């Protein structure tokens, strides 16, 4: 509900063209983050394990990683409005997580005691959070570019960061997410697996490898083949949309996540 309130407030900021400083979005996001963290901690302590085992838990951890990244970035004066662009994504993920089928009440008790498994899950989901924040910065970039092209007065009066800074931030966030994803996949390769299951041929791992290759392609294209500006921003948004649309399906098909 708090993320929804933040999204509604963001609509008014968009209509005003981000022409005045506003701290309400940040504090709404912070309030949602505190409630979100409390819920995750309560669930973890009640189950006596890291709450990233089933699809519901993975979804709320994904959103939590995106929120904490947004809060950190929002502390920078020139990126203060990032919460306004992230709130619709957070609200959509939160509504999806409420689907009852994602959190079956009765199922096999998971074994989640190893620290390496928790590290693997945390690194992967934090990488998704960085990618989500990169897509938010890319949307801000496209917004500024559109205003500069069609409404220069609105762009001049806007308090959004300069378009060059947004492009740099987007690239760096993609790089951070790529490094976290690489480390997470490497950690996952050293986890115990059911007999007969090959790690690099498993559904979720193949999907993660494809995601890794897509982001690698964006980074190489940016540094070597002048994939910059609008094309890079659209690529970042497109790959993150692919992540959101296929994450849950591949998770359900995974024998490692649903033995």
Q: Indicate if the pLDDT at residue 93 is higher than 70.
A: yes
Could you please report the per-residue DSSP string of 105-118? SS-PPP----HHHH
In eight-state DSSP terms, residue 200 is: G
Q: For residue 101, what are the contacts with CB-CB under 8 A and spacing of at least 6?
A: none
The arithmetic mean of pLDDT across residues 239-258, rounded, is 79
Identify the pLDDT of residue 212: 94
Q: 70-98 in b/e burial notation, b at 16+ Cβ within 10 A? A: bbebbeeeebbbbbbbbbbbbbebbeebe
Under 8 Å between Cβ of 257 and 251: yes
pLDDT beyond 70 at 1: yes
CA dist list (Å): 163 to 19, 147, 187, 198: 16, 11, 36, 45
Report pLDDT digits (tens) over 15-66. 665 555 567 878 888 899 999 999 988 888 887 766 666 778 878 887 888 8
pLDDT at 174: 92
What pLDDT does residue 152 have?
57
Neighbour tally for 253: CB within 10 Å: 13
Establish how many alpha carbons lie within 13 A of residue 88's alpha carbon, considering only the half-sphere containing its beta carbon. 11
Q: Is the pTM of this model over 0.85?
A: no
Q: Is 212 helix (H, G, I), strand (E, B) or coil?
A: helix
The Cα diameter of the chain in Å comes to 64
Whole-angstrom distance, CA of residue 213 vs CA of residue 206: 11
Q: Look at residues 207, 212, 215 and name the one whose alpha carbon lies nearest to residue 183.
A: 212
Task: Report pLDDT for 22.
Answer: 63
Q: What is the pLDDT of residues 94-141, one digit of tens each?
A: 887 777 666 776 554 444 445 567 777 778 878 888 888 888 888 888
Which tens digit of pLDDT belongs to each residue from 173-231? 899 889 989 998 888 877 766 666 677 777 888 899 999 999 999 999 988 887 888 89
The beta-strand segments (E) located in 132-251 are none
What pLDDT sits at residue 125?
79
Q: What is the three-class DSSP state of 1? A: coil
């Amino acid at each position: 509900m708090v993320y929804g309130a933040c999204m509604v407030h963001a609509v008014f900021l968009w209509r005003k063209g981000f022409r005045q400083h506003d701290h309400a979005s940040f504090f709404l996001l912070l309030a949602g983050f505190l409630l979100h963290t409390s819920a995750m901690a309560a669930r973890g302590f009640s189950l006596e394990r890291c709450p990233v085992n089933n699809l519901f838990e993975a979804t709320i951890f994904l959103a939590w990683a995106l929120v904490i990244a947004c809060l950190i970035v929002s502390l920078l004066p020139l990126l203060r409005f990032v919460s306004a662009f992230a709130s619709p994504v957070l609200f959509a993920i939160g509504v999806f997580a409420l689907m009852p089928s994602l959190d079956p009440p009765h199922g096999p008790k998971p074994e989640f005691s190893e620290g390496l498994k928790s590290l693997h899950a945390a690194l992967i989901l934090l990488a998704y959070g960085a990618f989500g924040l990169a897509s938010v910065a890319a949307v801000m970039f496209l917004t500024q570019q559109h205003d500069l092209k069609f409404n220069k007065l609105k762009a001049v009066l806007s308090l959004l960061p300069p378009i060059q800074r947004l492009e740099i931030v987007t690239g760096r966030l993609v790089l951070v997410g790529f490094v976290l994803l690489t480390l997470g996949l490497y950690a996952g390769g050293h986890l115990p697996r059911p007999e007969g299951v090959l790690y690099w041929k498993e559904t979720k791992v193949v999907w993660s490898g494809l995601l890794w290759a897509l982001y690698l392609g964006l980074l190489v294209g940016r540094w070597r083949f002048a994939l910059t500006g609008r094309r890079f921003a659209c690529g970042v948004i497109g790959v993150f949309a692919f992540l959101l649309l296929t994450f849950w399906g591949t998770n359900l098909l995974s024998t490692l996540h649903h033995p």
